Structure 1
Amino acid sequence: LPPVKSLLLGGSQVILGAQSYFGGLDAGNAPSCSNPQLSCHNTSVVEDLCCFNYPGGQMLQTQFWDTNPPTGPDDAWTIHGLWPDRCDGSYEANCDDSRAYHNIREILESFGATDLLSNMTMYWKDYKGNDESLWMHEWSKHGTCVSTLDPDCYSSYRSKEEVVDYFAAAVSLYTQRPTYQWLLDAGIEPSTSKSYTRDQIQTALSSRHGRPVTLGCKGGKLDEVWYHFEVRGSVQTGVFEAADPDGGKSTCPYSGIRYPPKAAKGGRPSPTATRTRTHVPEPTGPAFSGRGNLVAKTGGRSKGCIISGGSWYDTRSCARFHATQEGDGFSLESSKGKCAVVDGMFSCSSAVDKATVFTSKDESL
């Protein structure tokens, strides 16, 4: 591989910066709901279905952990969808064929939702490699069944704007439910040798979510998590409240659950050492804080990214780094440990005692 010219803080506007786009488009264009009721808790018929989600009153934010083939960043779960279940656990599907759009990317771009699209490209992944096919499926099957996203609910409706609001809501919920990190905080990490009990996994996630979650396993391997919500108001502007699952749907055994790493499949590519510039330009960018990815750039184009140990791969899933502001700069840490420049090489490991303080210039490290 050619030498690395710079490291970009990939997704900095999405993960490390403001997330205002997650609220969708112009909130004033969405339904105006005074004293909205919590879905699935009404005691009488609610006529205004622009402010009350019905019949799909329980919203499920669903996430994947795909290892065969490895899909998405190796230290993040990926988005499956946002599903409106009935309160009894059943659900409608494909509710409006006239709005079964096939050009999701084009729709998002037409509304200027480029940050949202970048986030989806990173985290809303199809294991077959056709992300937009998955987006189209989720919107057509589930998004068209959300009553508060009906075009008639908008005061000055712009064609297809409900599509943006659906994906914005799904991504916003996903970012607030970092499954990988929550499991890691509880000592549950991907492993080729360890196994876990269902209670261990359930406790790690439900203690953070606020209610039990649904766990999905195939062949004894953990591969899906569903977070259940009820909504006070519309999907666009309402409040999502954690809820108990609408029925027993977990498919994991009581014990012996495996949680394999994504890197276990497809072999391990040969790493290329990531070297920093010997001359550091004056910083002109922000001192980042929060979580994001490091994308390698060479020849003016992005090519691969940095994995958790600090090496550059052009075929491997991106790792997630945590940036902490340090004066005018910031330090970085991955799941492997603190990051530093050691003997001219960028490295992250538990052996690093003191992290290097980095600065940014034009979004480059």
Structure 2
Amino acid sequence: MLNSRCPETGIKLFPKNGFKPPTPTNPNPGKPGPTDGSSLRGFLKPEGESGCIISNGHWYSSGTCATFTLSKAPFGGYNLKSSKGYCGVGKDGYLTCGRGVTGGQFTYDKEKKLVTYGGVYRWSAEERPAHFKQVPIRPGYGGAVEFKLKFV
């Protein structure tokens, strides 16, 4: 027997013909994902306003929109995720995305393309983002600027 730390069973090797990674659920952001509707990719934009939501969950009017993934949650609703990580509403009441965020139960109206949280269709912010300024948003009414959040 050779001197090895490898187990005698349970070793898995790539096939001889190579390894092909799985196809992404939707290579075209903004277009519907798989036919079962379990996952969608697109951008979050405040309806009727300039700018979009960036990967940390803030509203930004300068730069590139972040791509978000909406995927069906195990117990209903949807999980929302950006390149920073899952998104949820923090103790401060604002949308946040990143490491350590456990996610939240969002809902998605496929016909109107609206993302909601806690059954509320409106989102709000204290102000509109100025050039290079990020503005936090929260579900519900109460901010100086109110809008619906479109998933396009």
TM-score range (shorter-chain normalised) is: 0.3 to 0.5
Considering only CA atoms, is the larger Rg found in Structure 1 or Structure 2? 1
Task: Give TM-score, length-normalised by structure 2.
Answer: 0.47
Bigger strand share: 2
Task: Give TM-score, length-normalised by structure 1.
Answer: 0.21
Bigger helix share: 1
